[in-house]
Amino acid sequence: MGKRVAIVGVGNGKFGKRHGFTARELAHEAVKEAFEDANLTPKDIQASVISIAGEQFASQGAPAALINDYVGLTGKPTIRVESACASGTAAIRTAYGLISSGLHDIIMVIGVEKMNAISSAKATELMAYAGDTRWEYPYGVSFPGFYALFATAHMKKYGTTREQLSMVSVKNHHYGAKNPKAHLQKEVSLEEAMNSVPIAAPLNLYDCSLISDGAAAAILVSEDLAKKITDTPVWITGIGAGNDTMLIAERESLTSLKSARDAAQQAYKMAGIGPENVDVAEVHDCFTIAEIIAYEDLGFAKPGEGGKLIEEEQTYIGGKIPVNVDGGLKAKGHPVGATGVSQAYTLVKQLRGEAVVQVDGAEIGLSHNVGQSGQFTNVIIYSRDKKLK
C-alpha cells in the first residue's frame, strides 16, 4: 500500500460562455481559488497535472506548459493528460499515483476547456472526431447520435420512457438554478424538457449537456502533509478505471457501459464499500440517458430500473442517493477537460459541509466520469475518513 492521498484545496471558476477569457485565464481563476482554499501559494507546489482535451478549442499546441506558466508554476514539472471527457479524473488519478508512489508530496491538478471561441457546429464536429474517424465519423455519427442509440436500446429493452429522460433534466436544472457557478441557472418544467427541439431521436435539446468554458482545480497531498495543512482533508479512498471497445458496433451492450461497471467495481473494492454506502454522487450526465445508465452501472439501481429511480425522485436530496446536486453536466456545464475536476470540487465541498446545496451528513462521495461514449470511465470515491473500511 502506498501513501494515502488527500485533497486539501479546491477551486472552480464560473462555467458558461466566457467570451473574452482565454483558457489560461480560466485556469488561473480556478487555481487562485484553490490556493486561497488551502492557504497555500505556488511555491508550495511540487508539480502539476493538467487536463485539457482539445488543442483546437484552445488554439494552442502543447497548452499545459502555457497554463503552468500562467498560474505561477514556472519551473515545476508538469504533465498533460487526455482521456476525452474523462480527462479531469484521469488527471486526478495520475496525481494520486505520483503522490502514492512517493515521487511527489503535493500536486496541483488543473482541468480547463475553452469551447466557445468557435461555433457550436464546429465544436460538435471536433468532438465527433473522438468517434472512429474511419468507420463512425465519416458517416455522420456525432455524440448525440451515439447516445440516441443507447437511449433507443434502453427504451426497447427495459421500457424506459421519454418522461423519465426529461425528469433527469428537470432535476439537474433544479439544482443548477441554485449553483452560482453553473452555466444555466434556470429551472425547467417537465413539459419544456419533453417538448424542446429534437436533436437525435429520442433525444432533444434538454437531453443534451452544454458546450461550456470553464476550469476547476484541486490540490492533492500526501497524508503527512495533509495533517499540516488542514483539519478537514478529504481522502481519496477508491479509484477505478475502465475501458471498452472504440467501435460502438463491437460493444457487448448498448444499455450499459462496461468501462463504468469495471471502474465502479475496482473503486468499491479499493474503498471497501458498496453502492449503498455512498451519500452523494456526481455522474457523467452528458445526455439524460447517460445518467440513467450510470445509476445502473454504479449499483444504485438494478439494470433496467434507473428510469424508475428518477421517476420516484430517489436521486434528489432526501432520496436514496442524491445525484448531481450541483446541476451536473446538463445544467452546470461541460467544459470537457474541467468536468472531472469540477466533480471533485463539488464532492470535497459536500464532504466538508460547505456546499451551496448541501446533502446533510454526507461522508462518502462518488464521481463517475466517462470519456467518449464509454471508451474511458474513471470512478473515484472520496471520504472524510482516510481509513479503508
CA–CA separation, 269 and 140 (whole Å): 40
Q: How many CB atoms lie within 10 A of CB 319?
A: 14
CA–CA separation, 346 and 351 (whole Å): 9
Which residues is 204 bridged to in the sheet? 198
Q: State how far the alpha carbon of 175 is from the alpha carbons of 81, 124, 179, 327, 386, in Å.
A: 30, 26, 7, 5, 29
Question: Which DSSP letter does residue 286 get?
Answer: S
Q: How many CB atoms lie within 10 A of CB 354?
A: 12
CA–CA separation, 333 and 328 (whole Å): 7
Q: How many CB atoms lie within 10 A of CB 55?
A: 14
CA–CA separation, 27 and 136 (whole Å): 33
Alpha carbon 352 to its chain centroid, in Å, reads 19
Of the candidates 176, 117, 120, the residue with the CA atom closest to the CA atom of residue 144: 120
CA–CA separation, 66 and 256 (whole Å): 38
Q: Which residues are catalytic?
A: 85, 334
